[in-house]
Copies of this chain bind each other. A is one copy, B any other.
Amino acid sequence: MSAPNPTAAIVVIGNEILSGRTQDVNVRYLAKRLAELGIALREVRMIPDEREVIADTVNALRAAYDHVFTTGGIGPTHDDITSESVAAAFGVPWEPHPEAWALLSRHYPPGEFNAARQRMATMPRGAELIPNPISVAPGFSIGNVHVLAGVPRIMQAMFEALAPRLDRGPPILQRAVHARGLLEGRLAAGLEEIQRRYPMLEIGSYPYYRESGSGVAIVAKGTDTEAIEAAVRDAAALIESLGAEPVAGEPAL
């Protein structure tokens, strides 16, 4: 990974992930988009809806990385406690946010902006809103922590609204070449040699098992386009030298 890429961590907040009820898909979306924006995702934590755990996790990660993204726990019900927990993490009051309050009180019919919904307009002091073009109730940034919804469609819309505000680095690219029928144990020595030749890249090796046949995908990742091209060429040559046919790109599903 080249030096100038800002770093990031994701905190997935929600008992429904830890119980297996819900398959998380937000991490992958954010991972891809962050790479495109030149932000290096370094860690993900999935934690329960518990105030102290959320506050401690946010504090540990905001000290370690340039950006922290949280998903989940910003709705109106009793188990939605991300916002107040982030306020606790920053040691600031959790209080009505004038702009969010105005937005939501306009949105609901008279008498329906109830106590539960008012919680969605209550935020850590100093929070900057992240617009929600899908369901109105906004996310927010405070310091380097960006608080997003858990529902994927809403999370994605919020992230895209936030993206222009994020400082970024050179895009992190990856290219793959794969070979059917080859085993990792035969590729390993040559691949290690390729990794040594391109220390600015991450060279990964991923066996796959598909209906259409098994094999190994080799992935070169980094910010140096020429090095990525060269490493993929070297990997293709390695595959050929072992009597298999290199195929550009990822294996089909």
Contact = CB atoms under 8 A, between A and B. Distances in A.
Nearest to A172: B19
Please indicate which of the listed interface residues A30, A174, A204 has the most CB atoms of chain B within 10 Å of its own CB: A204
Interface string A179-207: 00000111111011001000000111111
Contacts of A46: 27, 43-45
A76 interface: yes
Interface string A3-38: 000000000100111111111110111111101000
Interface residues of A, number: 65
B18 A31 contact: yes
Interface of A is mostly: mixed
A241 interface: no
Contact of A21 (B33, B114, B174): B174
A24 B207 CA distance: 15
A2 interface: no
B207 A75 contact: yes
A153 interface: yes
A219 B21 CA distance: 9
